[in-house]
Amino acid sequence: MKIGFIGLGNMGGPMAANLVKGGHQVAGFDLTAPMPEGVTKAATAAEAATDADVVLTMLPNGAILRAVAAEVIPAMRKGAILCDCSTVDVDSARAVAELADAAGLGALDAPVSGGIGGASAGTLTFMVGGTDEAFARVLPLFDIMGQKAVHCGTAGAGQAAKICNNMILGVTMIATCEAFALADKLGLDRQKMYDVVSTSSGYSWSLNAYCPAPGVGPKSPADNEYRPGFASELMLKDLRLSQQAAESADADTPMGQLATALYTSFVEAEGGKGRDFSAMLPRFEKRHRN
C-alpha cells in the first residue's frame, strides 16, 4: 500500500519503519522527529496524505488530532482510510470519524498498547473502532505493526476500550503498591507476599507481569530504577481521559477519580514525572497514614 504517516516520535517512528520493512511505501511528516530509514519525508501533513491508500496518525492529544484531520482530509483521495493510532478523547475520535465520512473516506480509531518496546518489535495490540470494511482493509498493516488487533465496535470504541483498560491498570497498580508498602510495615517479606498473591485471588497484571517491587517477579522497570516503560505522566493522561469520558457519559467511577487524583499529585508535586507509573511504590514507602 501507499501510506502516509503523520507523527513519527517514539511510537510513530518505529511503527512507520516496520511498515517500510513490510514492503509498503511510506511518506512521513513530523514537525521535529527524524525520518525513520526508508520513509520519504513530506513537507507537510497534507503532502504525506496525498494519494495515500491509508493515512496513519500518532499524535499527542485530541486537539492536535482534530487540527491534523482538518488539514489532511481535504488532501486525501476518495475511498482512502484515515487511521488514528493516538490515545485521545472519545469525542475527538468520533468527530474526526464524522469529518472523514462526510468526505467519502473511511476512518478508524486504533489506539495501541505495548509501549515503545512493542512499537519497535512490532508486537503492539490495537483496539479499533470503525466500520468492518475499514478494519478489514487496514488489518494487514496492523499485522505488521502488532501482534493483535481487536475490532471493538463503531467509531470511538477503540478509544473507549483503551481508556477503560488503562483506568483498570492505574487503579490496580496503586492497590499493588499500597499492598507492598503495607506488607513492609507488617514485616512480611516481599518475595513471600508475591509468591502468595501471584497465585491467589489478588493476582493481576500489575503484580504478576509488571511487579513494582525490585527483585521480585519478572524483570520490570522497578529493576531499572523505575526508568519508564510507561511513564507516570502518560498514565495520568489516560486517567484524565477516562474521567473526561465518565463525565460525558454520566458514569460513576470513584476509583478512577481517586487514581487520577493520586497520579496528579505524584506527577505534579511529588517528583513522579519521568518515572515509571509503578514508581508509586517508593512513594507509598515514604508515607505514613493520614
- 286 is a catalytic site residue: no
From 41, 78, 148, 162, the catalytic residue:
162
CB 72 within 8 A of CB 101: no
> CA triplet 264, 267, 271: central angle to 5 degrees?
140
Query: Distance from first CA to last CA of the chain, Å, rounded?
Result: 58
Nearest to residue 180, comparing CAs of 276, 288, 265, 284?
A: 284
Report d(CA 31, CA 43) in Å as an integer: 9
The torsion angles phi and psi of 251, rounded to 5 degrees, stand at: -105, 140
CA distance 214 to 255: 26
DSSP 8-state code for residue 30: -
Beta bridge partners of 128: 151
Please give the Cα distance from 217 to 278 (Å, whole number): 14
CA distance 258 to 271: 19
**How is residue 164 written as a grid cell?**
477503560
**Which residues are known to be catalytic?**
162
